[in-house]
């Protein structure tokens, strides 16, 4: 009985590895996300990002929530994903934050940062119905 249980467990784990359904340059996350209308009314008030965190003119905050100790800010950037990635990375560095990781792919991008006693991630996704508009999700949590 134990041997049968172990065999089933190994088969289940092995079957879950690598779906193989993604196209080249497409992550599983972007493949499953549906397109949305990103342009929405601007968030009123302070979004709660770290002190000196850049909020460029091209970025519009539409939502800010607290999930436990993590601040989550949602919005959109008025350009395509490649330009948005370069600009975020440059602005974060210019503001005195350390970029700890960054990656740009065809349909998504990440810029991880550390500074002002916080760490976080700027996630950019090509999931907007509007042309040349990029979905933005920023997380910020205490160190």
Which CATH code for domain 38-142?
3.30.310
Query: Does the reported pTM lie above 0.85?
Result: no
Beta-carbon count within 10 A of 5 CB: 9
> Structure tokens of 99?
């970029």
Q: State the pLDDT at residue 55.
A: 93
Select the more confidently predicted residue: 29 or 137.
Answer: 137
Of 49, 38, 41, 50, nearest in space to 124 by CA: 38
- pLDDT tens for 97-121 read 999 999 999 999 999 999 999 999 9
Domain positions in the chain are 38-142
Q: How many CA within 13 A on the CB side of residue 70?
A: 10
**Which helix (H) or strand (E) is 135 found in, with range?**
strand 134-142
């Amino acid at each position: 009985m134990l041997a049968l249980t172990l065999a089933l467990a190994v088969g289940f784990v092995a079957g879950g590895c690598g779906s193989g359904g993604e196209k080249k340059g497409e992550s599983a996350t972007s493949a499953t996300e549906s397109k949305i209308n990103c342009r929405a009314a601007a968030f009123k008030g302070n979004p709660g990002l770290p002190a000196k965190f850049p909020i460029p003119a091209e970025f519009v905050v539409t939502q800010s929530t607290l999930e436990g100790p993590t601040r989550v800010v949602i919005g959109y950037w008025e350009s395509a994903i490649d330009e948005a990635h370069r600009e975020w990375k440059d602005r974060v560095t210019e503001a005195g934050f350390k970029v700890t990781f960054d990656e740009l792919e065809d349909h998504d991008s990440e810029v991880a940062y550390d500074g002002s006693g916080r760490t976080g991630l700027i996630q950019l996704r090509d999931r907007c119905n509007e042309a040349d508009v990029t979905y933005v999700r920023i997380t910020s949590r205490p160190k």
